[in-house]
Structures are given as structure tokens and as C-alpha cells.
């Protein structure tokens, strides 16, 4: 018999070449699979919800692991973590219903991009924030105004990289907000799905606005252009974190999506 479990996984992305397993390079999926096979040599490759780029962190990666015998969730969590390195951990475990598949049944995601500001980069935040150097502080109000232009259902062609293979560039962004933090600020993006590098390109463009290199109203024209060359630079990966994933409520996995099950 097969026993499926849902694992919420966190990792520090700096030590991984992304989530997806690779033939030689270290990946989150590969490291987790190695640990699971220490407990069950028949376990198939665990399936994650979203792919993260090399260097991108995760706090809420959702993973389906199917084992050949039943486990108490707290025992499985402890057993897997005993075989994992410091930079990847299983944070919670619950039994998953038959037929649940994380990628197929996800309806929303939250990404957080952390920016550092000020005259010097905080060494204790190294690898966790993009420090934006500048003589003047970022114009946060202008960034918030520009971010509001991104909310809604749009063709985000201007905000995806050339290697993106998604069949459609249309996505729904439910929220784009700025949260001030000690030493910097967080850009919070919540949407149904995201294109390859979409959050990093949106961040780079908003930082351009904050630096006064673009007016806040330019975002509408950038969206309308449907051309990657119209948008700003791609922000570096170390500031980005996959913070949370929501699933269809019928599966009973995690909290219900605040935007409903029809967001896809």
C-alpha cells in the first residue's frame, strides 16, 4: 500500500541550484529525496508545488511524499530531519488524502522579496536580502503606487524571462504591498501563479521607481508593451522567498486560500 504525506519544507536557497532535481548539482528536491530514502528505499521522488530558482529561499514549499508504510506525522518529521542538512528542514507533516497532487491543486502563492536599505549592508542579513545602495532613500510611496498598477489579471509578458516556457503569460496578481522592516522593507506578492522570474523582474522595476529612475505611472505602459525590454532589471535571487502556498479547500491541506479556490 502507498501512504501519502504532505510536507511543508523550508530551505536556505544559497546552497541549492533550485528546487528541481538535477543530475549533478545540489537541489532541494534531490536532498529531500536522499533523506526519505534513508527511511524507505522504495519511496518515489517527492513532488513539490513550485520550482524555485538557484539561490531563492522557501519557507512554505509544499511537497507530496509517498511512503510504503504508515507513520505518525511527528515521527516522520523527526526522522526525515535527522537525515537532512542544516539548510533544509521539514517544518510540518500531515497525512495527505488520496488523489491530492500539490502542483495541480495549488490555487495561490505568496512570495516575499526582502530589500535592505541604508548606507551599509547588514552582515547578519547576508544572503537573505538584496541591499539597495543609494545616497537617497527609496521613494516607498511611489513604489506602492506603481505596485498597485500590477494588481489584477494581466498579460505579464514584460515581466517574464526569455527562457520561460509557460503556455500563457496571463496571470492574476491579488496583492502587491510593501511592509517596512528594520533595516529595509519587504515586497509582498500574492497571486494565483507566477511566470519564471516574474517576481524578481517586478521587484527590479519597482526598485527603479523607488530610485527615481522611472515614474510610478510607467508601470501601466510597461504592462501594455508586453516586452521584457520595457521592464527593469531582474533582482538577484537571494532576496526572494516562497513564503506560502494555498491549496483547494476540499483537500484540507493548510489554511484556506484568502482569494478563494477559483483563483486559477
The catalytic site residues sit at 53
**Pairing mode, if any, of strands 184-191 and 170-181?**
antiparallel
The tally of CA atoms less than 13 A away on the side-chain side of residue 174 is: 17
Please report where in the chains the cell 548606507 appears, as a residue: 119
Cell matching residue 20: 528541481
Contacts of 18 by beta carbon, 8 Å cutoff, 6+ apart: 27, 28, 51, 52, 53, 54, 56
Q: Which of 75, 183, 175, 68 lies closest to 130 in space, CA to CA?
A: 183
The secondary structure element, H or E, covering residue 209 is helix 198-210
Cα(163)–Cα(83) distance, rounded to whole angstroms?
35
Q: Which of 113, 103, 128 lies closest to 29 in space, CA to CA?
A: 103
Cα(26)–Cα(54) distance, rounded to whole angstroms?
10
Amino acid at each position: 500500500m502507498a501512504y501519502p504525506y504532505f510536507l511543508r519544507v523550508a530551505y536556505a536557497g544559497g546552497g541549492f541550484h533550485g528546487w528541481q532535481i538535477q543530475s549533478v548539482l545540489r537541489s532541494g528536491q534531490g536532498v529531500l529525496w536522499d533523506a526519505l530514502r534513508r527511511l524507505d528505499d522504495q519511496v518515489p521522488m517527492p513532488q513539490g508545488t513550485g520550482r524555485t530558482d538557484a539561490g531563492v529561499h522557501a519557507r512554505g514549499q509544499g511537497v507530496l511524499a509517498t511512503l510504503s508504510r504508515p507513520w505518525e506525522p511527528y515521527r516522520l518529521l523527526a526522522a526525515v530531519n535527522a537525515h537532512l542538512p542544516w539548510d533544509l528542514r521539514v517544518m510540518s507533516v500531515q497525512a495527505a488524502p488520496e488523489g491530492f497532487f500539490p502542483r495541480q491543486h495549488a490555487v495561490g502563492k505568496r512570495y516575499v522579496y526582502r530589500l535592505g536599505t541604508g548606507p551599509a549592508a547588514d552582515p547578519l542579513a547576508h544572503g537573505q536580502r538584496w541591499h539597495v545602495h543609494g545616497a537617497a532613500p527609496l521613494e516607498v510611496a511611489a513604489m506602492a503606487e506603481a505596485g498597485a498598477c500590477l494588481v489584477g489579471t494581466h498579460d505579464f509578458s514584460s515581466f517574464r524571462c526569455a527562457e520561460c516556457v509557460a503556455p500563457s503569460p496571463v496571470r492574476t496578481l491579488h496583492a502587491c504591498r510593501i511592509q517596512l522592516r528594520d533595516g529595509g522593507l519587504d515586497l509582498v506578492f500574492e497571486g494565483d501563479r507566477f511566470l519564471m522570474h516574474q517576481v524578481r523582474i517586478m521587484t527590479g522595476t519597482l526598485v527603479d521607481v523607488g530610485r527615481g529612475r522611472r515614474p510610478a505611472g510607467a508601470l501601466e505602459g510597461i504592462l501594455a508593451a508586453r516586452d521584457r525590454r520595457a521592464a527593469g532589471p531582474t533582482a538577484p535571487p537571494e532576496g526572494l522567498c516562497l513564503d506560502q502556498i494555498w491549496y483547494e479547500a476540499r483537500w484540507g491541506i493548510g489554511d484556506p486560500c484568502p482569494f478563494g479556490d477559483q483563483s486559477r
